[in-house]
Amino acid sequence: MRLLSGRHLRELMEAYVGEPEGLPPIDLEGQSAFIEEYFAAGAPELKMLFAVCGIALRALSIFLKGKPFSRLTSHEKDELLNRVMSSRNPLLRGVAVLPGLPLLMSYYRRPEVAVPLGFDAKALKEESNLRVVTRDRSLPPKAGQGGEVGK
């Protein structure tokens, strides 16, 4: 089951991610697969909430900007998202914040995006494997518990 149509999902990705300078473009196929996997691993309500927030953003663009979300320029989409995110109403703010989490995670988790930004998951995993922690051995007694009773 598709969460949103490919066109709507691309519009949301472009609004949230934009086109960062020096980084690869949006990968709709890979990112939508990650988003589906993300929602499959979480609470089922999150998927519905994501879709509702996407629809609410489309409605807010008509009320606040007078145009459908798809007809807004990238600058107008930024203004709309910033206006909704800076709202004092937590429900209205959530309409813009909640969809951002899976959309931004789906883009910035990609190795070709994360490595130029200084986060190399593969290198961090190799480094963590050098310091493997096990709990197979017995721990030394705590200070003051050296077996001396009555002192």
Looking at residue 1, what is its pLDDT? 42
Looking at residue 61, what is its pLDDT? 94
Q: pTM of the entire structure?
A: 0.75
pLDDT at 20 over 90: no
Average pLDDT on 107-127 reads: 86
Looking at residue 7, what is its pLDDT? 84
**Average pLDDT value over all residues in the chain:** 86
Looking at residue 133, what is its pLDDT? 76
Q: Could you give the angle at the alpha carbon of 53 between the alpha carbons of 51 and 55, nearest 5°?
A: 70
Higher pLDDT, 144 or 45: 45
Higher pLDDT, 88 or 125: 88
pLDDT at 66 over 90: yes
pLDDT at 125 over 90: no
Higher pLDDT, 110 or 5: 110
Looking at residue 3, what is its pLDDT? 60
Q: Could you give the angle at the alpha carbon of 59 between the alpha carbons of 53 and 63, nearest 5°?
A: 135
pLDDT grade, residue 95 (50/70/90)?
very high
